[in-house]
Amino acid sequence: MDKKFLKEKCSAENYKKLERLANEKLLNFAAKYTALFKPASVFVRSDSKEDAEYIRQKAIKTRQEQPLAAKGHTVHFDGYFDQGRDKGGTRYLLRPDEVLSSDIMSIDREKGLDEIHRLFENAMKGKEMYVCFYCLGPTDSEFSIPAVQITDSSYVAHSEDILYRSGYEEFHKLKGQGNFFRFVHTSGELDGNVSKNIDKRRVYIDLQDEMVYSANTQYAGNTIGLKKLAMRLAIRRASEEGWLTEHMFIMGVHGPNKKRLTYFTGSFPSACGKTATAMLEGEKIIGDDIAYLRNIKGKIMAVNVERGIFGIIQDVSEQSDPAIFEALTTPGEVIFSNVLVDEHNNARWLGDGRPEPEKGVNFSGEWQHDKIGPDAKRVPYAHKNARYTISLKDLRNCDRNLENPDGVEIGGIIYGGRDSDTSVPVAQSFDWLHGILAQAAMIESETTAATLGKEGVRAFNLMANLDFLSIPIGRYIQNNLDIVQGIANPPPIFHVNYFLRGNDGKYLNGVKDKHVWLKWMELRVNGEAGALKTPIGYIPKYADLKMLFKEVLGKDYSKEDYSEQFKIRIPECLAKIERIKNIYHAKVFDTPHILIKTLDDQKARLEDDPC
């Protein structure tokens, strides 16, 4: 690859940064896309504080971010119709002989590459191109995956600076090897500083070359390659190397008198309480979204892929999320996106616990009550998918092991869903196999009215990871079964359901009751709580929960409430088994035989011993 044009567009200092890495694959990559994009200049981000500050200042100078009243706070606005992950435009580039599943969106690899590269031609004329180096997982770690991002968006580069560890030195340690992820993004033509050609928005994932391409979009879920896009690459690599990439939080739960901290991972579909669990007051957080898990010397060890949070801000208030709210309302590095900026130059969002603003500026421009948008709909003062980007270390409950290169030992694994009439609030599997097959592989989540316009529709979501799978489902399930080989006592697996309703339609549990379920799980992991064996697994004893409700929440817990919440709903459980079996029979060509047998065994237990 001719590197002359790259050298022309870099300053001597920036080109020297690339040369120092002595990596031909990397140089060819940068040269190829410099020649294709034809930027006005190229900036190379090393691990230095000066380079990070350069990108922060460029984001403000180019008005991709605007400073707010609080020091370090900025706001970014995406286009009116560029406010979320583009599921329809996100596709895998697959060869004709590759098969993943019937639900996975794909395009012929050669056709997709030709299309995206045509969209890339001259797309950065007059702009600066950023070449940024990051590390997925802690640096200097068995878990580390180096990654390089090319983008013309200083907002994207700044966001990644907050969310990921700097990785320039990780590339230096590669000593010329090519074992890294690559991401290429352009915002495309801009109109009012937002992507103009949304009809040509594309997000293509090339598993063969471990690359992601993104064009004509600014929304972070489509452009920050290291997030869910990198997750798809990592799921494939993990499958080939014998570890797991999971859509999981990592948190620490204190034991009695805070003399012990037990780490849990947890995987929940959207709107099922994942972040609320990870951020429980008084406990510790390592990560809220993506985890790498490895079997290391007979223990399941895990790290947070990220060092920050790109979180939905709606309903974050001082009452609901005190630690996050504190970080969002005090000076520090925070990027808000698609919120409202009020007359005092402060960020405001839906459900922030404060009086609604009368006017301001948001993703639609100047805003006031009853404003109608270009889609002929009333414009809320902030978008429902408005976000915040912060560093985990700025949260008072951040755990000291966030950057531990060895990770943390996982004591228990939690799966959750939104279920109004079937699953008990918390149950423990009989063993690892039962947990993966009869809990994780059976996750369903009921839709809310705000999601699809119809409440209560059950959506199957295997391990809360279905949207991001880059390997066949059967293979993914088998990988989860295989990871505990050689482990004498694998971590127990639990299932939670915060959304059980009574006959009157009211929730049977309060929003804070989840803290009791977590404390019970912590005791179970450490052999300090009993359980009752049922056809679906182990459930808590009343005496233990009564004690925990008093200790954790300071309230009484009645035997009547316990009986209603933890009764095994036989008909509903049997119906769920049939639904899940039908899905696997119809949609999964490589379903492991042991999964169907496990479900049949559970069905037999329910029919023969109905508690």
pLDDT at residue number 557: 98
Question: What whole-number percentage of the chain has pLDDT above 70?
Answer: 98
pLDDT reported for residue 450: 39
Name the CATH code of domain 4-63+86-241 (choices 2.130.10.10, 3.40.50.720, 3.20.20.210, 3.40.449.10).
Answer: 3.40.449.10
Which region among 88-92, 146-150, 546-550, 599-603 has the lowest average model confidence (pLDDT)?
88-92
- Domain 310-394 sits in CATH at 2.170.8.10
Q: How confident is the model at residue 452 (pLDDT cuts 50, 70, 90)?
A: very low
Determine the pLDDT at residue 449: 43
What are the residue ranges of CATH 3.90.228.20 in the chain?
245-304+402-608
Tokens at 405, concatenated: 């290169």
Q: Tokens 């992991």 label which residue? A: 525
Q: Residue 198 — left, alpha, or beta (φ > 0 → left; ψ -120 to 50 → alpha)? A: alpha
Q: What is the pLDDT of residue 2?
A: 77
Q: Once rounded to an integer, what is the mean pLDDT over residues 155-160?
A: 97
Stretch (H or E) spanning 92 = strand 90-94
The confidence band for 297, taking pLDDT boundaries of 50, 70 and 90, is very high
For 263, 323, 553, 569, the CA distances from 278, given in Å and listed in that order, are 11, 12, 18, 28
Q: Where in the chain is the domain with CATH 2.170.8.10?
A: 310-394
Q: What does CATH list as the number for 245-304+402-608?
A: 3.90.228.20
* Confidence label for 99 from pLDDT (cuts 50, 70 and 90): confident
Q: What is the share, in percent, of the chain residues with pLDDT greater than 90?
A: 89
Read off the pLDDT of residues 200-242 as tens digits, 9 standing for 90 and up.
999 999 999 999 999 999 999 899 988 999 999 999 999 999 9
| Closest among 196, 203, 262, 266 to 229, alpha carbons compared | 203
Residues contacting residue 33 through CB under 8 Å, at least 6 positions apart: 120, 129, 150, 184
pLDDT at 456: 67
Single pTM value for the model: 0.95
pLDDT for res 448: 58
What are the catalytic residues?
Answer: 272
Supply the pLDDT for residue 258: 87
- Determine the angle formed by the axes of helices 24-37 and 12-20, rounding to 10 degrees: 140
Say what the pLDDT of residue 454 is.
Answer: 57
List pLDDT tens digits, range 534-551.
999 999 999 999 999 999
Partners of 311 in the β-ladder: 388
| Cα 395 to Cα 307: distance, rounded to the nearest angstrom | 11
Whole-number CA gyration radius for the chain: 25
Residues of the chain with CATH 3.40.449.10: 4-63+86-241
pLDDT for 31: 97
Query: What's the gap between Cα 458 and its chain centre?
Result: 21
Q: What is the mean pLDDT of the chain?
A: 94
3-state secondary structure of 390: strand
